[in-house]
Amino acid sequence: MACFDRVSPALREILLKLYRAEKPSEVDHHLYEFGSVEYHVQSSAADPQHNYLSISTPLLSQGALLSYGLSSYTMKMVKQVCSDAVEIVEPAKEGYQLTLKLNFAKVPSGKGYQISTLHNHADTYFPFPDSEKVITQISSVQAVILSSQLKEMLRNVNSQDTSQGMNKPIKLVYHPREPFYIIRQPQKITAVFPIRFREHSDVIIATAFFQELMDVGSSEKWAKAPPCTWSPIPPPELRGEPLEDLSTNGGFVSFDISSCHVEGKKLDKTVWSLLNFYAYVKKHVKCTRGFIQRRMQKRLESLVEVLHEEKLEENGNVQKVKEAPDGLHILMDAELKNT
């Protein structure tokens, strides 16, 4: 799979075309993306400045934390996405978790720097966001919804709230075939990734990678990184989970997240590292397999080249024998018989 992108390229393209359209038109467009994500873009020719974007996205967890829909924390994060041009419509349109009203009149039409004269001083220049940047921010709203759910779980790592229960796994799914688990424990949160591959050779490469990851993670240089463990069998915390979720051929990779890993800007980095872990592993396996194949091909070519040179030398010796005088042939035959 590809790495999870913060911005939807297809949605960004649609919104830019809508924003730059010279003539208003009726738009009723459905867009489907990876992970069962659906966007619904609506625009009216009678009111071209106000457009509607509805989003349907699978929630990371169907547990108690998000059973009622988008949490207040998630809604707060969404409001921070270009708040001047975006308004949340409540309730959302039927079949969607979120509906946004986009006011294109509040989207900056230019880019670069704006001139401001204050208190009779010389003109002051300050940068302001261009339209493409604003549209790009709006196109990242689904990623904001997804990441904010995980952020809400991780930022309460030291919370004493036991409503979710200690050591109770929370299954997170943003791709049906690649779920992972978040387990709250005293003073830390453990993320567990069941690993599956189709090819046995990929399992061998991944297993070597996980073992190396544990060795590097335990070194002093990476002491501040979340501790990583790999096991061919499920960790005890996953006992009782469905058998199909625990049936793997690549084992289980676990990361222990503590408060120092979610402080300030580290929270965003930790969240995106977890969301892209599956993609990172598969990319590593793919690149390693390609490297091995190229090395094997290069080695094979070098062996073929050696054999080809030996054949040329042999053919050259045979040609020399054929061109030798008859007397030399007699001497060579006698020499061969003596040997």
Residue 205 and residue 265 in one domain: yes
Average pLDDT of the segment spanning 73-87: 82
In a domain, 263, yes or no: yes
- Please indicate, yes or no, whether residues 13 and 145 belong to a single structural domain of this protein: yes
Where a domain ends, among 154, 177, 208? Answer: 154
Of residues 294 and 158, more confidently modeled: 294
Query: For residues 139 and 6, what is the distance between their CA atoms, to the nearest angstrom?
Result: 8
Q: Which two tokens stand for residue 247?
A: 């049936």
Please give the pLDDT value at position 202: 92
329 and 241, same domain (yes or no):
no
pLDDT at 154: 87
313 or 1, greater pLDDT: 313
Q: Are residues 23 and 111 in the same domain?
A: yes
DSSP string, 65-91: GGTTSS-HHHHHHHHTSSTTTEEEESS
| Tally of domains within the chain | 3
For residue 255, pLDDT over 90 is answered with yes
Mean pLDDT for the chain? 80
Q: Is residue 252 part of a domain?
A: yes
36 versus 303: the higher-pLDDT residue is 303
Domain boundary (137, 154, 171) is at 154
Assess if residue 291 is contained within a domain. Answer: no
Domain presence at residue 280: no
pLDDT-derived band of residue 211, with 50, 70 and 90 as boundaries? very high
Question: What confidence tens digit (pLDDT) does each residue in 134-166 have?
Answer: 898 899 988 888 888 888 888 877 665 555 556
Residue 283 located in a structural domain: no
Domain CATH number, residue 206 = 3.30.1460.20
169 lies in the same domain as 140: no
Share of the chain above pLDDT 70, in %: 78
Encode 85-107: b = buried (16+ Cβ within 10 Å), e = exposed: bbeeeeebeeebbbbbebebeeb
Residue 196's pLDDT is 92
Q: What is the pLDDT of residue 99?
A: 92
- In this structure, are 137 and 94 located in the same domain? yes
pLDDT for 219: 85
- pLDDT average, residue stretch 307-324: 66
User: Rounded CA gap, 6 and 272, in Å?
Assistant: 9
pLDDT digits (tens, 9 = 90+) for 5-21: 788 889 999 999 888 88
Indicate if 203 and 84 belong to the same structural domain: no
Structural domain span for residue 37: 1-154
Q: 79 in a domain, yes or no?
A: yes
Both 131 and 231 in a single domain? no
Question: Rg for the chain (alpha carbons), in Å?
Answer: 31
- 129 and 10 within one domain: yes
For residues 197 and 123, state if they share a domain. Answer: no
User: Per the domain annotation, does 286 fall within a domain?
Assistant: no
Q: What is the pLDDT of residues 36-64, one digit of tens each?
A: 789 999 998 888 778 999 998 877 765 54
Burial of 165 (0-12, 13-18, 19+ CB in 10 A): exposed
Residue 290 lies in a domain: no
> Quick one: the chain helix, strand, coil %, rounded to 5?
45, 20, 35
The residue-averaged pLDDT of 170-193 equals 87
Task: Provide the pLDDT for residue 123.
Answer: 44
Task: Give 326's contacts (C-beta < 8 A, 6+ positions apart).
Answer: none
Closest by CA to 222, choosing from 234, 209, 230, 213, is: 213
- Rounded mean pLDDT, 274-290: 91
Residue 19, SS3 per DSSP: helix
Instruction: Kindly indicate the confidence band of residue 233, based on its pLDDT and cuts at 50, 70 and 90.
Output: very high
Please indicate, yes or no, whether residues 3 and 147 belong to a single structural domain of this protein: yes
Structural domain ending residue among the three candidates 95, 121, 154? 154
Quick one: 184 and 82 in the same domain? no
